[in-house]
């Protein structure tokens, strides 16, 4: 069952203090790893350091608590679905395991969403070559929007990942050219499902006729 933590204060996780004592003298470790005598560290830097470590201690414990809460929620949902399946012989849930559970009065809701983690194989390079070949025959005045979409679709970010949304957008274009059609097949063949990630979201409302309001857990959106 989910831990009862609503009235429990969050204890800070222990933090390294970034200081070293040598021969009875205290040194602070700077960002380059150098040891700076404590008396040479500005008071303002000490105040910032103390505040950051204090907040990070609470942040790390809160992060761990949220992770435990999420896992407990996933376990509770799985247990409930197993019971319902055993009692009624019917699977409760939508496509790819997505599930929406609503309280009896219609004012509280838990949504479990399963998202596939996709990567793209070497076929993607063949697709790019075919698309480039098709685009070279277009005049500069034709298909400027398509050129821009193709450019963004195959451009990788700093992590080396392509733009999934733009790639899937290419698949929606109805272009009869054989090279384009071959390229779209290559894109589809390049898709690899490496796993799934489960997201749990929570919603509430005052009554069954009101709009759902998300219960924010992400600190950035709180």
Note the pLDDT tens digit of each residue in 12-31: 778 888 899 999 999 999 99
80 and 100 assigned to the same domain: no
Which of 58, 92, 126 is the endpoint of a domain? 92
Residue with tokens 């319902």: 84
141 and 207 assigned to the same domain: yes
21 and 69 assigned to the same domain: yes
Which of left, alpha, beta for 13 (phi over 0: left; psi -120 to 50: alpha)?
beta
49 and 121 assigned to the same domain: no
Which of 71, 92, 113 is the endpoint of a domain? 92
52 and 108 assigned to the same domain: no
Residue range(s) defining the domain that contains residue 32: 1-92
Give the residue from 218, 221, 135 showing the smallest Cα distance to 180.
135
110 and 84 assigned to the same domain: no
Strand-pairing partners, residue 106, are none
Using the 8-state DSSP alphabet, how is residue 122 labeled?
A: T
Which residues, in sequence order, are CB contacts of 94 under 8 Å at separation 6+?
100
99 and 78 assigned to the same domain: no
Residue 39 reports pLDDT greater than 90 = yes
The pair phi, psi for residue 143, each rounded to 5°, is 65, 35
Residue 2 reports pLDDT greater than 50 = no
Which of 47, 72, 92 is the endpoint of a domain? 92
Chain-wide mean pLDDT for the chain? Answer: 84
C-alpha dihedral sign at 96, 102, 106, 107: negative
49 and 81 assigned to the same domain: yes
Distance between start and end Cα atoms, the chain: 25
Q: What does the pLDDT look like over 41-87, one tens digit per residue?
A: 999 999 999 999 999 999 999 999 999 999 999 999 888 888 888 87
Does residue 221 or residue 24 have the better pLDDT? 24
Task: State the pLDDT confidence band at 5, using cuts at 50, 70 and 90.
Answer: very low
User: Quick one: angle between helices 123-136 and 144-154, nearest 10?
Assistant: 160
159 and 81 assigned to the same domain: no
104 and 186 assigned to the same domain: yes
What is the maximum span of the chain, computed from C-alpha positions, in angstroms? 79
Residue 130 reports pLDDT greater than 80 = yes
80 and 150 assigned to the same domain: no
What average pLDDT score do residues 180-204 get?
89
- Domain count of the fold of the chain: 2
What pLDDT, on the 0 to 100 scale, is given for residue 55?
A: 94
The token pair that represents 189 in the structure block: 């063949």
Q: What does the pLDDT look like over 78-119, one tens digit per residue?
A: 888 888 888 776 666 655 678 999 999 999 999 998 887 788
71 and 100 assigned to the same domain: no
What pLDDT, on the 0 to 100 scale, is given for residue 4?
A: 45
């Amino acid at each position: 069952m989910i831990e009862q933590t609503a009235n429990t204060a969050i204890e800070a996780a222990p933090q390294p203090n970034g200081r070293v004592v040598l021969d009875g003298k205290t040194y602070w470790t700077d960002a380059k790893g150098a040891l700076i005598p404590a008396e040479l560290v500005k008071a303002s830097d000490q105040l910032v350091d103390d505040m950051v470590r204090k907040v990070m201690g609470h942040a790390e414990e809160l992060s761990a608590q949220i992770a435990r809460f999420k896992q407990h929620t996933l376990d509770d949902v799985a247990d409930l679905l197993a019971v319902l399946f055993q009692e009624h012989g019917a699977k409760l849930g939508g496509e790819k395991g997505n599930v929406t559970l609503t309280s009896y009065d219609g004012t509280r809701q838990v949504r479990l969403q399963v998202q596939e983690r996709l990567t793209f194989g070497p076929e993607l390079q063949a697709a790019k070559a075919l698309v480039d070949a098709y685009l070279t025959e277009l005049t500069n005045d034709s298909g400027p929007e398509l050129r821009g979409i193709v450019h963004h679709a195959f451009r990788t970010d700093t992590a080396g990942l392509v733009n999934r949304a733009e790639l899937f957008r290419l698949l929606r274009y109805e272009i009869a050219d054989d090279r384009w059609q071959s390229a779209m097949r290559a894109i589809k063949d390049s898709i690899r499902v490496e796993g799934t990630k489960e997201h749990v979201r929570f919603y509430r409302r005052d009554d069954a006729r009101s709009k759902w309001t998300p219960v924010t857990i992400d600190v950035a959106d709180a």
